[in-house]
Structure 1
Amino acid sequence: MTDTQPRFAKAPKVLDPLGDADTEREAGRKRNYAKVGSGRPSSLIYTYGPGAVMDLPQFTIMPSGLDDWDRIWARRDGAPPVIEAPQLRQVVAKLLNSKHIELRPFPWQAVAFTGSEDGRDLGVPSRVFPQWLRCTGCDNLGLISQFSYANVKRYRPDQARFTHEKCYGRPDRPRSKPSAQTAVPARYLLACPDGHLDEFPYDWWVHGGAACASGIDHPQLRMTDRTAGKGAAATITCTQCDKKRPMNEAQGEAGAAKLPYCRGRHPHLGTFESGGCGNPAKLMLIGASNLWFGSTQSVIVMPQSEADRTDSLAVRLRGTHGEDLAEVRGNAKLIRMILKSQVELEGVDDATLLAAVEEALAPEAPEEDQEERIRTWDPVDLLVPEWVYLQKDPLGPRQEDPASGLTLSKRDWESTWRGGSVSRVLAVESLRKVNALLGFTRIDDMDRVGDLPRRLVPLTRDRPEWTVATEDRGEGIFLQFDEARIAAWESVVEDSPLWQAHVEAHDRNFTNRFSETAERVKPSTRMRPPRYWLLHTFAHVLIRQFALTCGYSAASLSERLYAWKESEERPAAAGLAILTTASDSDGTLGGLVQLSEPERLRQIIERALYRARRCSSDPMCATRTPSGNEDFLHGAACHCCVMASETSCERANRFLDRRFLVELPGGHGPLAFFT
């Protein structure tokens, strides 16, 4: 077992809502198993993925682990659909220790017409979580079994709710006749840094860890809340023994000492870690923004190479007559006969087919080698194939690849502009971006999946065979910088006091923020080179200027940076792409790519650089340099001039400094790339 595959204390309870509905129907009991809500794929992968708490109008749910999704796919004939993105699939397979993992879309199907039954059997299985509910009429606090559930209107999932059927009202305002009142989720949870999440033990809390003095095993509790907007302001009362305890005692470091230790629960998997977790638990609210951080990787799909085609075919072959293929390996004719009705082999030559079979039958690498690959993996590796392909000039004025969805056009850019700083421009008229979910963390986000593997919560109970992915389509502009100019400028910057101040601040930041990781990783290996700071800052000022003319908001534009020095593993890169994508199958409208026309783009860049020379927070912003114990990872940059929204920036507004871009007051003029 690796850190990403924990041992579980007991077999999990199977989640199969459609199977349960069939069982109830066969037994003659009528139950309504209508869907309770919907979400866009982009929100389900970035905000409400497996393990996240998703708000519905009347209660909250948690999408389950991918094991339970298999039962949804199994009700359909044929293999589930697969998203083709070989470069991304290979990286996901490496990070999840699963050689032949697949990328699949969310289980969804468009309906042909209103009232159609198409796709009704598809959906994301979910659990109601948390299962402690509070009656809005009388403040009674209890488990879900004490309340009734109603979801009677198939096309009104917003009316699905839990109710307290015989509510007599609050003690100070009782009703003469009982009535049904809506029950809502009790808003407190327990979480730990290793990604576990659990219900708050209200009965344990109010009784101080002891049993109720009345001798009742499950005493009736009440949650009263008379003050809004002041954190954990509720009070828990036991109606049997009259004990009371406020929730604000559980807040902060002092409150954490009063809470039980984490039990190692993963509610999306229905499991507990064997022996518990042992970490101190932390009080959380249902709507807390740090309750779920999805760990994703994305790639712009490039035309497939021969190796990519072999890899894609090997993945399809793995699940098709694996033992039979082992018997006939090396015989292309017999292999085609076996796979004739199951795998599309048109256009696949014998050499590629035999290579794919050998790859599909190859044994897994030793566990130690897999862990070493994860530890040494660099996210830059995912960008290298994109950079290498974008170095090739399009064949003709417009080159389109239907399989990948990529369409490129070269612009007649004058390489003499600004001394040849921007040497080449490509219009990315259409592209396909694939995003895959690897896992998630709680309480704190991680920059890298491989930093602390135990903190990356898995999406499955066992080694995964697939993970969920989404496809976005859009457009963009690619700008390549002159490598000779970048290298010469970079050598000057690396010898400057300003750069040394940034390096020292990064070391302090890494040690403070990633104390456990810093014990075995040199902070300098995570510091981005000067060219990254330059291109990152340039991308941000471009996004701000593009947003004024392209018709898209700045939040809908994103950056993709290719900025690294030459090494044995990869060639040097200095370029960037500004993209906009949408999950709609039609993509975007072309407003961004129109700005790649040379004269228009030149004017936009000039305006962006001019605006970068001024900030409403100057001179404070223009002279900001970390010193002493300061560990911020930016220099002359703030929300008034350079910083962008989290949807646009790939580095959370770190590694930015206008002084590397243009000349600012303060004596750092020689460090400006654009003079």
Structure 2
Amino acid sequence: MKKGPIGKVSRSQTVTTYGPGSLYELRTFKGGAIANSVIVAGTHLWPVDEMQEVSEPTLAASLGVDRFLMPPSAEDDDNPVPVPAYRFPEWLECNECHRLGHVNIRFDEEIDAPPKCSANDCNGYGVPTRLVVACHPGDGDASGNSPGHIDDFPWTWWAHSQSGETTCKSPEIYLEAKGKKAGISGLVVQCKAKDCGASRSLEGVFNKDAIAWSCKGYRPWLGSRNDDGTCEPCERPVRTLLRGASNIYFPVSASAISIPPLSSKLIQEIVVRGRPILNSLKQDHADGKAIDREMYINLFQNGIPGFRRYERDQIGMAMDILLENAAAGGQKLTEAQQKDRERQALTHDSDEDQLEDDFENKVVEDYDLQKAHLLKDYLELLAKVHRLREVRALRGFQRIESSPVADSYSQACAPLSKFPEDWLPAIETRGEGIYFELSKDRLAEWETDEAVLTHIAPLVANYLRYCEDRGIEDIDMDLVAPGYLMIHTLSHLLIKQLSLECGYSSASIRERLFYGRSEGEQWCGVLLYTASGSADGTLGGLVRQGEPENLDKMMASSLENARWCSSDPLCIESAGQGVDALNLAACHACSLVSETSCEQRNLLLDRALLVGTPDNPEIGFFHDYLHGDNH
């Protein structure tokens, strides 16, 4: 691993795009050629002592860790704290003679310069090779595991694979452009060793069965190839991928909205800044000892700078809440259970007497809702979230393809660390939002309509086939329920419209879907909120769009836009499109948003469930509005 910085990424990117196991490329040296391609190292190598703690006790307990740590910031140029990385792929290609090889074998390491080609009379330098291989969790394995194995493309094997030999005594591998074919098919891998000359074109290299050997179980983000624990047994076949392909890395994250009482800033400060005192308090409580409240209040007030601004009874109340949370076993929840708690907070006004809280919610009066032409007939509830805080933790990642998420708290993923850790990397974002739920009576009647169920049958079949192919046994059919598909699509349309109305970019607006049933009650709602690590997330523009008259106009515009797509009639008549055909009438031209905004990576969408189809407009949930006399 070469010492010294190779580039910068933001904190949010470190728990999304560039987390452990991801590939990072830096264009530098020689007019912008890619001189460095690295894989971000596992969290067991991160500078834990330099990282700031983030408080969200319920989410931490649900994910089986004690705490969250915020990745180091790259903003401090005078004292940057680096996240380690390893060179990957290990094979390089000379930009002059196109010879392939490793550093210290075919290339010489240079200081502040790319590796130099060691061939005679060559002044070239090494750039990362363009191909890698990875195993697919669905190939030859029904376990549903996602190990994240990735390795260098087998250049030597490929060159000799059609010659009857897998290699020669002293291979000299080159990558050259030959023939008239463009792109990857016009490249030939050739061995120029004496008495060899074996070669093979890269045509067909991306075929599923192109590489006739099994995965070696290499996990380069955990260490070098010879380190203990870096490789693990694996017999899956491998697939060839472009080094810069978007399907190299899919982060698996889990999030929670901070809700009372743990959304109190005092509680957050106690958890982060007073952890030693808090741990002692919890231990005394667990041991059944009598708690000396006055002593602990004094310790918090006098031992933590700035705590004297809090009243003693406020600190005492915070202690009681944290002890109650600890006594409940840390409140380990599934994602559905966490969302149920969030929904309870979103459907009620927040306590106006709560001081310095990261959650402020106001439910719109039914009287005001009835003034809106569209909303009065279709919405059960509308709330304006003036202030919220989200904590998003990185649990792991997947390669080649991502799966629809039923429970991100337990989704299978590759590990971030070589060893079990008591923490996960996370970021906190603050913002504002709009929450609404659709009419329960309308939803119940519409969801049981035979025409609606017949329409989504192809998507349901595609989803079941997807689960069967990957050995998923605990199938969540709510993900393909008409109401879920409909509210998910409506959410995307509103995100697009909100970006035009309130000044936020669509990528800065997230969705959080709430769909379920419990004890005879059904709900179908969505929270649309900003997710910014800075004050940009709390400008107030989104909450203003939550006024009934504003949301009414915006929803009407979204539905009008959904009636026609530039890809129609192909889009509206589709029986399955997108990854594994898990969308119906939804494409980039009409319904897809930034993947950072979507809970399901732009899957499980169908705008026909909102507006109907030309042949069957009645299946649209908003049919009565779109085709009514007052429209």
Measured against the shorter chain, the TM-score band is 0.7 to 0.9
1:661 corresponds to: 610
1:163 paired with 2:136, answer: no
2:43 corresponds to: 66
Closer, same or farther: CA 547–354 of 1 in aligned 2, 3 Å:
closer
TM-score normalised by the chain length of structure 1: 0.74
Separation of aligned partners in 2, 1:494 and 1:327: 50
1:435 corresponds to: 392
Q: Is the 8 A contact 2:334 2:407 kept in 1?
A: no
2:32 corresponds to: none
Report the alpha carbon displacement of residue 635 of structure 1 after superposing the two structures with TM: 4.5
Separation of aligned partners in 2, 1:595 and 1:611: 18
Aligned length: 581
Closer, same or farther: CA 538–220 of 1 in aligned 2, 3 Å:
closer
1:456 corresponds to: 413
Q: Is the 8 A contact 1:559 1:650 kept in 2?
A: yes
Q: After the TM superposition, which of the residue ranges 585-594 and 51-60 deviates more from structure 2?
A: 585-594
* CA deviation profile, 1:124-144 (whole Å, cap 9, x unmatched): 111111121122122222211
1:244 paired with 2:192, answer: no
Separation of aligned partners in 1, 2:433 and 2:188: 50
Equivalent runs, 1:150-549 vs 2, <5 Å: 150-152=110-112, 160-164=113-117, 168-169=121-122, 179=123, 181-193=124-136, 194-207=147-160, 214=169, 216=170, 219-226=171-178, 229-231=183-185, 233-246=187-200, 248=202, 251-253=205-207, 256-258=210-212, 260-270=213-223, 276-305=233-262, 316=275, 329-333=288-292, 336=296, 347-348=315-316, 379-395=335-351, 402-404=356-358, 406-411=359-364, 413-415=368-370, 417=372, 418=374, 419-448=376-405, 456-487=413-444, 489-490=445-446, 493-503=447-457, 505-512=459-466, 514-518=468-472, 520-522=473-475, 525-549=477-501
SS in 2 for 1:82: strand
Separation of aligned partners in 2, 1:229 and 1:525: 42
Separation of aligned partners in 2, 1:606 and 1:283: 46
Q: Is the 8 A contact 1:82 1:102 kept in 2?
A: yes
Separation of aligned partners in 2, 1:400 and 1:163: 63
Closer, same or farther: CA 561–450 of 1 in aligned 2, 3 Å:
closer
Equivalent position amino acid for 1:506 in 2: V
Equivalent position amino acid for 2:518 in 1: E
2:63 corresponds to: 92
Q: Is the 8 A contact 1:303 1:401 kept in 2?
A: no
Report the alpha carbon displacement of residue 459 of structure 1 after superposing the two structures with TM: 0.6
Equivalent position amino acid for 1:242 in 2: C
Q: Is the 8 A contact 1:474 1:582 kept in 2?
A: yes
Report the alpha carbon displacement of residue 466 of structure 1 after superposing the two structures with TM: 0.8
Q: Is the 8 A contact 1:539 1:559 kept in 2?
A: yes
Closer, same or farther: CA 198–482 of 1 in aligned 2, 3 Å:
same
SS in 2 for 1:577: strand
Closer, same or farther: CA 433–527 of 1 in aligned 2, 3 Å:
closer
* CA deviation profile, 1:581-614 (whole Å, cap 9, x unmatched): 3233553533333322333332222333333344
Separation of aligned partners in 2, 1:562 and 1:673: 19
* CA deviation profile, 1:96-126 (whole Å, cap 9, x unmatched): xxxx432111022643xxx73xx33x21111
Q: Is the 8 A contact 2:383 2:435 kept in 1?
A: yes
1:589 corresponds to: 539
Report the alpha carbon displacement of residue 633 of structure 1 after superposing the two structures with TM: 4.2
Q: Is the 8 A contact 1:232 1:251 kept in 2?
A: no
Q: Is the 8 A contact 1:300 1:431 kept in 2?
A: yes
* CA deviation profile, 1:199-258 (whole Å, cap 9, x unmatched): 2333444455968655x5xx5433323465235823132434433222527725575353
2:101 corresponds to: 142
Report the alpha carbon displacement of residue 548 of structure 1 after superposing the two structures with TM: 2.8
Q: Is the 8 A contact 1:531 1:564 kept in 2?
A: no
Separation of aligned partners in 1, 2:470 and 2:21: 25
SS in 1 for 2:191: strand
2:86 corresponds to: 127
CA RMSD of aligned residues (A): 4.2
* CA deviation profile, 1:632-665 (whole Å, cap 9, x unmatched): 4444544444443434333344444444434654
Separation of aligned partners in 2, 1:85 and 1:327: 21
Closer, same or farther: CA 356–622 of 1 in aligned 2, 3 Å:
closer
Separation of aligned partners in 1, 2:151 and 2:418: 17
Query: Gapped runs of 5+ residues in structure 2?
Result: 28-34, 137-146, 625-631
- Sequence identity of aligned pairs in percent? 26
Report the alpha carbon displacement of residue 485 of structure 1 after superposing the two structures with TM: 3.7
Equivalent position amino acid for 2:36 in 1: F
Q: Is the 8 A contact 1:565 1:572 kept in 2?
A: yes
Closer, same or farther: CA 354–323 of 1 in aligned 2, 3 Å:
closer
Q: Is the 8 A contact 2:608 2:619 kept in 1?
A: no
TM-score normalised by the chain length of structure 2: 0.78
Q: After the TM superposition, which of the residue ranges 443-452 and 496-505 deviates more from structure 2?
A: 443-452
Separation of aligned partners in 1, 2:297 and 2:58: 29
Q: After the TM superposition, which of the residue ranges 536-545 and 460-469 deviates more from structure 2?
A: 536-545
